[in-house]
Structure 1
């Protein structure tokens, strides 16, 4: 029996034109997703998604609702074509797309919440003051020793995304991340790559945003998940709305346990992963965790049709 997990990308996956190919084939979805997001947020998000500029789309309070909008639309198309998930998981912001797919939040509530989440994250650390970088080829324990030492010297930096073997993202102050990149290379890391993001996500610097996010999430009517969601914070399946809300708040300043999430899904019997959203970043990470995993990214008509065709062979 095929066991399927839907995976949803986070910030960094956004690109101008995302979702447009699908809208050309399914114009009825424009009203339900693109136009609805514009209406709820009071900004022309759909124009940014369609025409850019990329710099504006990348701002966290634009990227978050934009990615959620496209992922929710793709989920509907997969479901309409008989492809249903046994589990869902999302990378950071993608966890909200997973919660929409699992029936915990409505699209309308989620797109409003992540827009506010982005605004609060931006307020916590204005763009340019924090940074993130991907460290390749250093074990998590060795890298944690590096970040702990630099943080103790007054420049906060910590592990933020444990993505796959040999790839960990660090986050913190600009100075802390720069120092950690140098120290990591001295400790044996192969590369240190600065990331194009607008804030130090999943670090203690995001804590000021957590109380405000808590207030927003408390005002949303969350349902228990119809499909279990793997939490970023614990890498364990969760169904209870009562448990999900505090985990979403904690997720703001806690590491994303993505490698553990993929391993948990495999332990639960998942043999087929579908990445529902722009790009193929998560597909690459899944392959680095388990080369044998079957993974299908879906982001345009060609990839949607390919997975629909393949799904006819699943039992």
Structure 2
């Protein structure tokens, strides 16, 4: 059997009610969520379980909520004896991947991403930044357009290389609008503005990056027990200092998700298990390589189904 990677979703995967059924069924998961509430000093779990959606969608809530839910699902899943050879996560999900690999404790991770969300929101005033998804365009052609817009004095950059033909761009409102116009002219199939609160993974986040470094140093990050594939360079990492550097750079650099999946494939991974709310990453992984197996686990039912399949094959 090939190797297993646990992968963790990023912002946008949140839904009201996530994690509730697991908390209702398992004492230790309830205790975990209480720990998160204590560390943050407010009831994140109320927002997760009851909403409203507008509250849960705020970056400062969405980030710790997705991390807490993903870690709760992981805790339940690992009880079944399935272990990962590698972890990786998309943007915010990289923090969950690091917690899963023992590089940061659950409470410290919850607090760090809540602070990360705050710093991201403070970096650029609301309405000044924008992001858009670009579909059906080659990476090199897209990079050329980014250069042209930058040369015209506007701020725009590639923010996520998600899978072949799907890239997200980020920058000032004017920069993203101008780039969107040019990308359509140059043959992009579609350019879709995204409903986000800021220009994430763009140079506009640099002001938040050094403040984030302080948060990360206070989080007592250790070396990881298994390799975590980093967003910034798609390379496996275990060293604590390198992990901190990567997370600081990640704030203003593109998320190399497609490259990260390819790294894992080269390392012999043939089974990807998406842990947490949603199935976004499973879809992207299939677009990178149709032949790999993906599972998405988010509740008791999906956990038991996946475990049954994997154990049957291991016989």
Task: Give the shorter-chain TM-score range.
Answer: over 0.9
More displaced stretch, 253-262 vs 304-313: 304-313
Specify the alignment match of 2:58 in structure 1.
59
Deviations 1:127-166 (A, max 9, x none): 3221111100001111111122122223211100000000
Specify the alignment match of 1:109 in structure 2.
108
Give the secondary structure class of the aligned counterpart of 2:246. helix
Specify the alignment match of 1:164 in structure 2.
163
Give the secondary structure class of the aligned counterpart of 1:163. strand
Counterparts of 1:194 and 1:24, CA distance in 2: 38
Counterparts of 1:77 and 1:311, CA distance in 2: 16
Specify the alignment match of 1:49 in structure 2.
48
- Tell whether the 8 Å contact from 2:7 to 2:272 is kept in structure 1 after alignment: yes
**Displaced runs of 4 or more, over 3 A:** none
Counterparts of 1:27 and 1:126, CA distance in 2: 41
Deviations 1:17-36 (A, max 9, x none): 1111222222431121x221
Unaligned runs of 5+ in 1: none
Specify the alignment match of 2:28 in structure 1.
28
Give the secondary structure class of the aligned counterpart of 1:309. helix
- Tell whether the 8 Å contact from 1:155 to 1:173 is kept in structure 2 after alignment: yes
Alignment of 1:207-226 (within 5 A): 207-226=206-225
- Tell whether the 8 Å contact from 2:201 to 2:255 is kept in structure 1 after alignment: yes
Counterparts of 1:49 and 1:128, CA distance in 2: 26
Unaligned runs of 5+ in 2: none
Deviations 1:192-251 (A, max 9, x none): 111122111100000000110101111222221111000101101001112111111011
Alignment of 1:215-294 (within 5 A): 215-294=214-293
Alignment of 1:146-157 (within 5 A): 146-157=145-156
Deviations 1:176-205 (A, max 9, x none): 112211211111011111112211110000
Give the secondary structure class of the aligned counterpart of 1:313. helix
Deviations 1:39-82 (A, max 9, x none): 11112211111111212211111111011101111111111111
Counterparts of 1:241 and 1:314, CA distance in 2: 35
Counterparts of 1:76 and 1:57, CA distance in 2: 22
Give the secondary structure class of the aligned counterpart of 1:233. coil
Give the secondary structure class of the aligned counterpart of 2:6. strand
Specify the alignment match of 1:144 in structure 2.
143
Q: What is the count of residue pairs matched by the alignment?
A: 314
Counterparts of 2:4 and 2:40, CA distance in 1: 33
More displaced stretch, 300-309 vs 113-122: 300-309
Counterparts of 2:39 and 2:97, CA distance in 1: 20
Specify the alignment match of 2:5 in structure 1.
5
Length-normalised TM-score, structure 1: 0.97
Counterparts of 1:103 and 1:83, CA distance in 2: 16
Specify the alignment match of 1:18 in structure 2.
18
Q: Does 1:187 align with 2:215?
A: no
Give the secondary structure class of the aligned counterpart of 1:30. helix
Quote how far apart the aligned CAs of 1:305 are.
1.4
The Cα RMSD (Å) is: 1.1
Specify the alignment match of 2:296 in structure 1.
297
- Tell whether the 8 Å contact from 2:24 to 2:30 is kept in structure 1 after alignment: no
